[in-house]
Amino acid sequence: MKQRAITAFFFAAIMIGGIYWNMRSFQLLFTIIAGVMLWEFFGLVFSSKGKSNLGDKVFGLLLGITPVIFLGSQIISISFWWCGIDLPEDPVAEHLQNTIENAGVMFVFLGLIIMPILLIKLFQQGSSIETAVGHYFLGLFYIGLPIILLFSIAMPGAIYSPNRVFALLWLIWTNDVFAYLVGSQFGKTKLFERISPKKTWEGTIGGGICTLVMAWGLSHWIDDYNQAQWLALGIIVALLATPGDLIESMLKRSAGVKDSGTLMPGHGGLLDRFDSFIFVLPFAWLAVILLGG
């Protein structure tokens, strides 16, 4: 318990410091988080047969982190252009050209990664190319894409808004904590026993209700989202945070492990901490864009 508390303290300090220091510290923090989650993810999917292939993990990490590095800021421009927002001192046409150029470089880089993968698989007996490449691209869309969209959420009107990031994380943590507390006290009906025996409908519903209440409360304190966005985010987190956690639990069960990693003593890996967050992010991004940018 003491170890969990110490880990939680340092984790919270790093998260708050990285998010609120400045835009660059935020981008660096979540690029590192994305990299660690990708490493843990590929450790899960490539260890389903009892062993973990270092080469597969390295290739997967490079494939997944490349879009985060190359498009992490560029996709923000597309969002602004879609909403009719011009970036200061950077015309839309020029920015779109930069986006296309960076996307081109990214896809060339991805191609340079994929080709060696195919060559290596050629010499590996009993290795399935289709399965390996499928795992690589699953990691790209499961982890890389959500982090890219987080960069977009954090930059309304080309101005970095740390409150947007922190508020979304706070909703996720609210759902997790109260789902656990309510489930521990009143949980009787199993939610998905095959994947996560401890989760209950009572806990899930209780966590969802508390998340909606928290979203309502935060809407009176943080004005970085409008009322419609707060309502949508509360509903999205209440409905999708638990499925996001279950999906990662399914991956761990398939790999035969309890935690995705050991980076956080007493808490597991970063993927264990951010599983709900990355699953919610694409839906949150869409809601934020459609309801006011």
Question: Where are the chain's structural domains?
Answer: 2-290
Contact between 104 and 110 under an 8 Å Cβ cutoff? The reply is no
Q: Give the pLDDT of residue 134.
A: 79
CA distance linking residue 97 with residue 91, whole number of Å: 10
Q: Give the pLDDT of residue 127.
A: 56
Tokens of 263: 């980076």
Q: What share of the chain is helix, strand, coil (3-state, %, to 5)?
A: 75, 5, 20
Which residues does residue 87 pair with via DSSP β-bridges, in sequence order? Answer: 90
Residues in the chain: 293
pTM of the model: 0.81
Q: How far apart, in Å, are the Cα atoms of 183 and each of 19, 149, 169, 208, 242?
A: 31, 31, 21, 12, 13
CA distance linking residue 85 with residue 106, whole number of Å: 25
Sign of CA dihedral 150, 254, 236, 290: positive
DSSP for 195-217, written as a single string? TEEEEEHHHHHHHHHHHHHHHHH
**Which residues of the chain are under the pLDDT cut of 70?**
1-2, 48-53, 71-130, 157-158, 266-267, 293
